[in-house]
Structure 1
């Protein structure tokens, strides 16, 4: 959760106001279209009970209702905050507000004109208006988001962003910005408050210097927004950064520290008007666990049944090229540190594990991971399988058994877990997954600490929609072979 502290400069406010006005005009036009379409469906196509000659009402008879509805739709959209969406507001949330606003406008319209002329206007017309308005306006929002998302992925319509602070909160917000281009930020880098050496990097993100270089960085990179991620104990420095942002007309946000408690785990209540803070249960539990397990069971069963011919072809290819087992099994660490046997199609020589120590000097991964782009232990069939991630297909059996999930952190080896820092162990609080944020954001190219931050973000922000989104995004990532080796 990020608390907004100051409005953008005047030019940006004008742009935001112009954008809201444009959406308002567009919504009026689309609401007018929905109204006319509803009248046309009832009186021209006669969808519903057949009309007699005396029951037919020309569109001009509905002009009063039409004008009232256009006013009501704008008022209702203001009430449901359709034009006050945050940058991080999801599509379903926006569509929900549009639906509620449309329903409210139609309800008030029915009440007003039922009292005025209860027996004249067709109830079916009002029903069609209530259905067509959110469909038409909602479709326009979907198309708008698709267009904006395409432009942002091509590097356009992005705000230049700098994060102030290289601690835990700074790392987490940087990871969210990097993995969510739909937010509309281009992360220039971050200003360090003593966590990094001069010229260092956090994964692929540059350190631009110390915090006191903010003014120079804003000018040099055309920074439009700053996120302050400094500890609450540094209140004087925070105030200084805020003053610099105001002086240069740069919008900024402040991440509250709250004694290092993550805000999405906080449950805020009150007793007699006194606010109290508690902690919500962590992890994926209860109804969330049921939904996730149901998705895992359905999809893994479907893949194992429908994909069985592919499994057979791969098994034959492995046996024809080299002797040894078709499947490679390795003990991995699962949820809450529980070990399990993970299955993969064998893509390396039988003595691959014994040769790993001899290749330690060629390791291209950081942290406790071991990765090589051109690993000499791979077989020819294995290299092809790994490029397309087909070697991981047997893990659907692990998913069906309940050892793994479709989406989650990468399943680590015991020796990797032994090297974890305390904060990194949080990734063991859920089942490991076949895919995840790391899979769709670079795979083997993602530095270890960055991968852990992605896993923690996933755990703290889990939803069924997020799982489905990551599953869909995995397919093009695999076909593009992003970071596959």
Structure 2
């Protein structure tokens, strides 16, 4: 028998458990969401009110007339209330979004932008002299504060989840292969919202457990045992993985039965490489239709992406110029040969371009490759060795911290590459593409991407292709910023870089 954990709760605060290990699963389950949402609400309110008060104080010091004083105070109250209302209307504290993915941050940005858009309309209609100060000072400062506080809370929440805290306990239901896939995906990251505590498999099998991360969870057979498994494990939700032989009628009736125990029913989509924003539900006379938006490879979003690439790569080249000089001197001092290494890569639409890197190997590296082919430790397509004898002493740490990739900022500025995108392939790789792998070439390759932050050389070929194709079809500007932020973290703590 599997006893459910207790539901004793304490009000979450980022420093409350620092430095000590907490009892696993002590506060797992649905009730933690309400406490966590309350914590976010308090933090959001304090951040918004403090930002508006500080900026209003600054504005009042620059304003002398009594009418301006009254107008500014009124406007400050309106901004605070309106901002808080928008944060609720845009569901920025939706329990389905908090703690994982970029959607939570996107909702905060959208709510803040909507607040000041409506305020701008009000100023045009009613008049107001000081709105520009709020737009130039309060909006960016408040948005930065809100995003920063959400990031701090998420870091704390992720740390708690590593100890089994603040997770929704779930039972996964379906056929063996579908259940195995869903459990694997949910267990990949410690920041996942769900903790798999059991599985119910359709059909019969000999196995009585299934691996979920680093532990085994109990398995029962027969869809009639779902409610029993929920009661035994203390699960808060049931995830139906893929299609069931009993069909949609069974799922509808299962939802009705789960209502008695207030257990949430979740359907796992079989569209494994389609991001949520591309999926829209449209009920038609009781028939839920799932619309999948077509990927966009041209248009306004790509113009914004290109503008972002030009601005950020140009600024980075200026700021990093001293670093380039130091690295160049170290390379020249370490081994004979040029500072930069130029290699032909395949870009968007199969076009070729010269990609630049800091030289991290001896000048005879290409000629020496043939003798090392049988020692390949890569994914079968790419040649990689953890202790490649061709790598120079300086080149070792250049590659470890991805500093050798910095000259590709010039490729980004030129338009050959983007800051974020699929990994730039060699022509020899492209010649061996099969199936839909060519879709990697529908957009520009990137200086960084999902492959960079997900393990790099430790990834097998199939996983590398999957990540690239997922990005090609589902990229967003907000997602690009998230990838760039995570890239900085990977550069500090490199994984799979050799």
* TM-score of Structure 1 vs Structure 2, range by shorter chain: 0.5 to 0.7
DSSP 3-state at the match of 1:48: coil
Deviations 1:206-238 (A, max 9, x none): 997989599799899986555444158883796
* CA-CA distance at 1:293 after TM superposition: 1.8
Change (3 A) 1:325 1:258: closer
Correspondence for 1:159 among 158, 163, 167: 167
Contact 1:73 1:101 in 2 (8 A): yes
Which has the higher mean CA deviation after the structures are superposed, 411-420 or 77-86? 77-86
Change (3 A) 1:231 1:262: farther
Where do residues 237-316 of structure 1 align in structure 2 (5 Å cutoff)?
251-257=264-270, 264-265=277-278, 280-304=293-317, 307-308=320-321, 310-316=323-329
* CA-CA distance at 1:298 after TM superposition: 3.1
Matched, 1:374 2:379: no
Where do residues 320-469 of structure 1 align in structure 2 (5 Å cutoff)?
320-469=333-482
Correspondence for 2:242 among 230, 238, 251: 230
Residue aligning to 1:118: none
* CA-CA distance at 1:84 after TM superposition: 4.5
- CA distance in 2 between counterparts of 1:386 and 1:319 reads 16
Contact 2:90 2:110 in 1 (8 A): no
Where do residues 87-126 of structure 1 align in structure 2 (5 Å cutoff)?
87=97, 89-97=103-111, 100=114
TM-score normalised per structure 2? 0.65
Deviations 1:310-333 (A, max 9, x none): 445544544444444444333322
* CA-CA distance at 1:274 after TM superposition: 10
RMSD over aligned Cα, in angstroms? 5.8
Matched, 1:147 2:159: no
Contact 1:179 1:441 in 2 (8 A): no
DSSP 3-state at the match of 2:342: strand
Deviations 1:191-212 (A, max 9, x none): 9999xxx99999x899979895
Deviations 1:251-279 (A, max 9, x none): 44213447997765568889999998876
Residue aligning to 2:21: none
Change (3 A) 1:241 1:321: farther
DSSP 3-state at the match of 2:357: strand
- CA distance in 2 between counterparts of 1:418 and 1:375 reads 25
- CA distance in 1 between counterparts of 2:48 and 2:325 reads 55
Could you list the runs of 5+ residues in structure 2 that have no partner in the other structure? 1-27
DSSP 3-state at the match of 1:427: helix
* CA-CA distance at 1:74 after TM superposition: 7.8
Change (3 A) 1:27 1:235: same
Contact 2:51 2:138 in 1 (8 A): yes
* CA-CA distance at 1:408 after TM superposition: 1.0
| Greater relative contact order, per chain length (Cα 8 Å cut-off, separation 6+) | 1
Deviations 1:293-318 (A, max 9, x none): 22223333444455455445544544
- CA distance in 1 between counterparts of 2:332 and 2:130 reads 67
- CA distance in 2 between counterparts of 1:450 and 1:323 reads 37
Contact 1:264 1:460 in 2 (8 A): no
- CA distance in 1 between counterparts of 2:197 and 2:356 reads 41
DSSP 3-state at the match of 2:479: helix
DSSP 3-state at the match of 1:385: helix
* CA-CA distance at 1:435 after TM superposition: 0.8
Which has the higher mean CA deviation after the structures are superposed, 129-138 or 448-457? 129-138
Could you list the runs of 5+ residues in structure 1 that have no partner in the other structure? 1-10, 115-122
- CA distance in 1 between counterparts of 2:315 and 2:53 reads 45
DSSP 3-state at the match of 1:341: strand
Change (3 A) 1:130 1:209: same
- CA distance in 2 between counterparts of 1:13 and 1:275 reads 27
Change (3 A) 1:73 1:259: closer
DSSP 3-state at the match of 1:372: coil
- CA distance in 2 between counterparts of 1:323 and 1:274 reads 70
* CA-CA distance at 1:374 after TM superposition: 1.0
Contact 1:31 1:70 in 2 (8 A): yes
**Could you say which structure has the larger radius of gyration?**
1
- CA distance in 2 between counterparts of 1:207 and 1:414 reads 44
> How many residues of Structure 1 are paired with residues of Structure 2 in the alignment?
450
